[in-house]
Amino acid sequence: MSLIFRPLFEKESSTYTYLLADSKTKEAIIIDAVSETKQRDIGLIEELGLTLKYIIETHVHADHITSSCPLKEKFTQAQIVLGEANAVACADVLIKDGESLDFGEFNIKAMSTPGHTDGCMSFVVGDKVFTGDALLIRSCGRCDFQGGSADKLFNSISKLFSLPDETYVYPAHDYGGRTVSSIWEEKTFNEMIGGGVDKQEFVRRVNAMELSLPAKIHVAVPSNQVCGSRIITNKP
Protein backbone atom coordinates (compact mmCIF):
# COMPACT_ATOMS: atom_id res chain seq x y z
CA MET A 1 0.00 0.00 0.00
CA SER A 2 1.29 3.44 -0.89
CA LEU A 3 -0.15 6.92 -1.10
CA ILE A 4 -0.40 8.71 -4.41
CA PHE A 5 0.13 12.39 -3.58
CA ARG A 6 0.06 15.23 -6.10
CA PRO A 7 0.31 18.89 -5.04
CA LEU A 8 -1.09 21.11 -7.79
CA PHE A 9 -0.94 24.91 -8.19
CA GLU A 10 -3.26 27.60 -9.55
CA LYS A 11 -1.19 30.70 -10.24
CA GLU A 12 -3.83 33.46 -10.33
CA SER A 13 -4.86 32.99 -6.69
CA SER A 14 -1.69 31.13 -5.64
CA THR A 15 -3.89 28.24 -4.50
CA TYR A 16 -2.68 24.71 -3.87
CA THR A 17 -4.97 21.82 -4.73
CA TYR A 18 -4.03 18.41 -3.35
CA LEU A 19 -4.89 15.07 -4.94
CA LEU A 20 -4.38 11.97 -2.79
CA ALA A 21 -5.21 8.35 -3.54
CA ASP A 22 -4.63 4.79 -2.42
CA SER A 23 -2.37 3.25 -5.06
CA LYS A 24 -4.00 -0.16 -4.63
CA THR A 25 -7.74 0.60 -4.55
CA LYS A 26 -7.42 3.84 -6.58
CA GLU A 27 -9.89 5.61 -4.28
CA ALA A 28 -9.02 9.31 -4.24
CA ILE A 29 -9.74 12.61 -2.53
CA ILE A 30 -9.12 16.13 -3.74
CA ILE A 31 -8.66 19.14 -1.45
CA ASP A 32 -9.41 22.78 -2.44
CA ALA A 33 -9.96 22.35 -6.17
CA VAL A 34 -10.15 25.55 -8.27
CA SER A 35 -12.49 26.33 -11.16
CA GLU A 36 -9.73 27.55 -13.50
CA THR A 37 -7.82 24.27 -13.23
CA LYS A 38 -10.70 21.78 -13.25
CA GLN A 39 -9.76 20.34 -16.66
CA ARG A 40 -6.20 19.73 -15.45
CA ASP A 41 -7.52 17.98 -12.35
CA ILE A 42 -10.09 15.91 -14.26
CA GLY A 43 -7.40 14.88 -16.74
CA LEU A 44 -5.01 13.76 -13.99
CA ILE A 45 -7.70 11.80 -12.14
CA GLU A 46 -8.66 10.00 -15.36
CA GLU A 47 -5.05 9.47 -16.44
CA LEU A 48 -4.18 7.81 -13.14
CA GLY A 49 -7.34 5.69 -13.25
CA LEU A 50 -8.62 7.01 -9.93
CA THR A 51 -12.10 6.88 -8.45
CA LEU A 52 -12.81 10.22 -6.81
CA LYS A 53 -14.55 9.56 -3.48
CA TYR A 54 -14.43 12.92 -1.70
CA ILE A 55 -14.16 16.55 -2.85
CA ILE A 56 -12.98 18.40 0.24
CA GLU A 57 -12.97 22.14 0.95
CA THR A 58 -10.96 23.49 3.88
CA HIS A 59 -13.37 26.48 4.00
CA VAL A 60 -15.53 28.78 1.88
CA HIS A 61 -12.82 30.59 -0.06
CA ALA A 62 -12.95 34.30 -0.88
CA ASP A 63 -10.21 34.54 -3.52
CA HIS A 64 -11.21 31.89 -6.04
CA ILE A 65 -14.21 29.87 -7.16
CA THR A 66 -14.18 26.19 -6.34
CA SER A 67 -14.71 23.44 -8.89
CA SER A 68 -16.48 21.16 -6.38
CA CYS A 69 -19.80 20.97 -8.24
CA PRO A 70 -18.25 20.63 -11.71
CA LEU A 71 -16.06 17.81 -10.38
CA LYS A 72 -19.10 16.11 -8.88
CA GLU A 73 -20.96 16.43 -12.16
CA LYS A 74 -18.05 14.61 -13.79
CA PHE A 75 -17.41 12.05 -11.04
CA THR A 76 -20.95 11.40 -9.86
CA GLN A 77 -20.01 9.03 -7.04
CA ALA A 78 -17.94 11.72 -5.27
CA GLN A 79 -19.23 13.52 -2.18
CA ILE A 80 -18.56 17.18 -1.36
CA VAL A 81 -17.20 17.68 2.17
CA LEU A 82 -17.03 20.87 4.26
CA GLY A 83 -16.78 21.61 7.96
CA GLU A 84 -20.09 21.65 9.82
CA ALA A 85 -19.88 25.39 10.63
CA ASN A 86 -19.95 26.46 6.98
CA ALA A 87 -23.10 28.11 5.62
CA VAL A 88 -23.35 26.14 2.38
CA ALA A 89 -26.17 24.74 0.31
CA CYS A 90 -24.25 22.01 -1.43
CA ALA A 91 -22.31 19.73 0.93
CA ASP A 92 -23.02 16.02 1.01
CA VAL A 93 -21.00 15.71 4.22
CA LEU A 94 -20.74 18.39 6.92
CA ILE A 95 -17.84 16.98 8.87
CA LYS A 96 -17.27 17.56 12.58
CA ASP A 97 -14.06 18.03 14.52
CA GLY A 98 -12.37 14.67 15.07
CA GLU A 99 -14.40 12.79 12.46
CA SER A 100 -12.63 10.75 9.79
CA LEU A 101 -13.26 9.58 6.24
CA ASP A 102 -11.65 6.61 4.52
CA PHE A 103 -10.26 6.36 1.01
CA GLY A 104 -8.89 2.92 0.33
CA GLU A 105 -6.64 1.92 3.22
CA PHE A 106 -6.02 5.55 4.13
CA ASN A 107 -7.86 7.85 6.51
CA ILE A 108 -8.37 11.62 6.57
CA LYS A 109 -9.20 13.23 9.91
CA ALA A 110 -10.88 16.62 10.34
CA MET A 111 -9.56 19.23 12.78
CA SER A 112 -11.72 22.28 13.41
CA THR A 113 -9.42 25.31 13.01
CA PRO A 114 -11.61 28.45 12.88
CA GLY A 115 -10.22 31.96 12.84
CA HIS A 116 -9.57 32.84 9.21
CA THR A 117 -13.26 32.03 8.75
CA ASP A 118 -15.59 30.48 11.28
CA GLY A 119 -15.91 27.28 9.26
CA CYS A 120 -12.25 26.47 8.62
CA MET A 121 -11.17 22.84 8.87
CA SER A 122 -7.70 21.34 8.61
CA PHE A 123 -7.26 17.73 7.54
CA VAL A 124 -4.68 15.17 8.63
CA VAL A 125 -3.55 12.24 6.48
CA GLY A 126 -0.70 10.26 8.06
CA ASP A 127 2.28 12.59 8.46
CA LYS A 128 0.64 15.42 6.48
CA VAL A 129 -1.71 18.20 7.57
CA PHE A 130 -3.63 20.32 5.08
CA THR A 131 -4.16 23.60 6.90
CA GLY A 132 -6.21 25.67 4.45
CA ASP A 133 -5.75 29.36 5.30
CA ALA A 134 -5.36 28.80 9.06
CA LEU A 135 -1.61 28.16 9.09
CA LEU A 136 0.45 29.33 6.13
CA ILE A 137 4.17 28.89 5.59
CA ARG A 138 5.77 31.50 7.90
CA SER A 139 2.41 33.29 8.21
CA CYS A 140 -1.30 32.75 8.84
CA GLY A 141 -4.65 33.61 7.35
CA ARG A 142 -6.26 37.02 7.68
CA CYS A 143 -9.18 37.41 10.09
CA ASP A 144 -11.08 40.47 8.85
CA PHE A 145 -14.05 38.90 7.02
CA GLN A 146 -16.37 35.84 6.99
CA GLY A 147 -16.60 35.58 10.75
CA GLY A 148 -12.85 35.77 11.23
CA SER A 149 -11.31 36.04 14.69
CA ALA A 150 -7.63 36.40 15.56
CA ASP A 151 -8.39 35.10 19.04
CA LYS A 152 -9.89 31.90 17.59
CA LEU A 153 -7.07 31.59 15.08
CA PHE A 154 -4.46 31.63 17.85
CA ASN A 155 -6.27 28.74 19.52
CA SER A 156 -6.54 26.88 16.21
CA ILE A 157 -2.85 27.23 15.36
CA SER A 158 -1.95 26.18 18.91
CA LYS A 159 -4.05 23.06 18.24
CA LEU A 160 -2.15 22.42 15.02
CA PHE A 161 1.11 22.90 16.92
CA SER A 162 0.12 19.92 19.11
CA LEU A 163 0.70 17.64 16.10
CA PRO A 164 4.10 15.88 15.94
CA ASP A 165 6.93 18.26 15.02
CA GLU A 166 7.78 16.21 11.92
CA THR A 167 4.27 16.58 10.46
CA TYR A 168 4.42 18.15 6.99
CA VAL A 169 2.35 21.34 6.58
CA TYR A 170 0.56 21.87 3.27
CA PRO A 171 -1.34 25.20 3.16
CA ALA A 172 -4.04 26.31 0.73
CA HIS A 173 -1.86 29.18 -0.49
CA ASP A 174 1.70 30.32 -0.74
CA TYR A 175 2.75 33.58 -2.34
CA GLY A 176 6.51 32.99 -2.29
CA GLY A 177 6.87 29.74 -4.23
CA ARG A 178 7.20 27.50 -1.16
CA THR A 179 5.46 24.14 -1.32
CA VAL A 180 5.74 22.56 2.12
CA SER A 181 6.79 23.25 5.70
CA SER A 182 6.62 21.32 8.97
CA ILE A 183 5.03 21.84 12.36
CA TRP A 184 8.50 22.24 13.89
CA GLU A 185 9.48 24.90 11.35
CA GLU A 186 6.31 26.90 11.91
CA LYS A 187 6.57 26.64 15.71
CA THR A 188 10.10 27.96 15.38
CA PHE A 189 10.10 30.41 12.48
CA ASN A 190 6.51 31.51 11.74
CA GLU A 191 6.54 35.31 11.60
CA MET A 192 3.11 35.68 13.21
CA ILE A 193 3.08 33.04 15.94
CA GLY A 194 6.44 31.24 16.00
CA GLY A 195 8.98 31.39 18.80
CA GLY A 196 6.45 31.30 21.61
CA VAL A 197 4.44 34.42 20.73
CA ASP A 198 1.54 34.82 23.17
CA LYS A 199 -2.10 35.36 22.24
CA GLN A 200 -2.12 39.11 22.96
CA GLU A 201 0.85 39.75 20.68
CA PHE A 202 -0.51 37.43 17.97
CA VAL A 203 -3.85 39.24 17.96
CA ARG A 204 -2.03 42.58 17.74
CA ARG A 205 0.03 41.36 14.76
CA VAL A 206 -2.98 39.96 12.92
CA ASN A 207 -5.08 43.08 13.51
CA ALA A 208 -2.19 45.23 12.26
CA MET A 209 -2.21 43.53 8.84
CA GLU A 210 -3.02 45.98 6.06
CA LEU A 211 -4.50 43.91 3.27
CA SER A 212 -6.87 44.79 0.46
CA LEU A 213 -9.91 42.57 0.01
CA PRO A 214 -9.47 39.70 -2.46
CA ALA A 215 -10.44 40.89 -5.93
CA LYS A 216 -12.99 38.11 -6.36
CA ILE A 217 -14.54 38.14 -2.87
CA HIS A 218 -17.97 39.40 -3.92
CA VAL A 219 -18.23 36.70 -6.58
CA ALA A 220 -16.26 33.92 -4.92
CA VAL A 221 -18.03 33.74 -1.56
CA PRO A 222 -21.60 33.39 -2.89
CA SER A 223 -20.39 31.02 -5.62
CA ASN A 224 -18.54 28.87 -3.10
CA GLN A 225 -21.54 28.76 -0.79
CA VAL A 226 -23.10 26.66 -3.56
CA CYS A 227 -19.80 24.87 -4.32
CA GLY A 228 -19.16 26.63 -7.60
CA SER A 229 -22.53 26.02 -9.23
CA ARG A 230 -26.08 27.28 -9.00
CA ILE A 231 -27.21 23.85 -10.18
CA ILE A 232 -26.65 21.20 -7.55
CA THR A 233 -26.75 17.74 -9.11
CA ASN A 234 -26.68 14.21 -7.72
CA LYS A 235 -27.53 15.37 -4.21
CA PRO A 236 -28.54 12.32 -2.16
How many domains are contained in the chain? Answer: 1
Residue 26 belongs to some domain of the structure: yes
Residue 214 belongs to some domain of the structure: yes
Domain encompassing residue 190? 3-224
3-class SS string, the chain? CCEEEEEEEECCCCEEEEEEEECCCCEEEEECCEHHHHHHHHHHHHHCCCEEEEEECCCCCCCCCECHHHHHHHCCCCEEEEECCCCCCCCCEEECCCCEEEECCEEEEEEECCCCCCCCEEEEECCEEEEECCEECCEECCCCCCCCCHHHHHHHHHHHCCCCCCCEEEECECCCCCCCEEHHHHHHHCCCCCCCCCHHHHHHHHHCCCCCCCCCHHHHHHHHCCCCCCCCCCCC
> What's the mean pLDDT in 144-164?
95
Residue 236 belongs to some domain of the structure: no
Least confident range of 23-37, 102-116, 200-214: 200-214
Confidence of residue 100 (pLDDT cuts 50, 70, 90): very high
Residue 230 belongs to some domain of the structure: no
Confidence of residue 25 (pLDDT cuts 50, 70, 90): very high
**What percent of the chain stands above pLDDT 70?**
97
CATH number for the domain that contains residue 128:
3.60.15.10
Residue 233 belongs to some domain of the structure: no
Confidence of residue 219 (pLDDT cuts 50, 70, 90): confident
Residue 186 belongs to some domain of the structure: yes
Confidence of residue 147 (pLDDT cuts 50, 70, 90): confident
Residue 34 belongs to some domain of the structure: yes
Residue 45 belongs to some domain of the structure: yes
**What is the reported pLDDT for 121?**
98
- The reply to whether the predicted model has a pTM over 0.95 is no
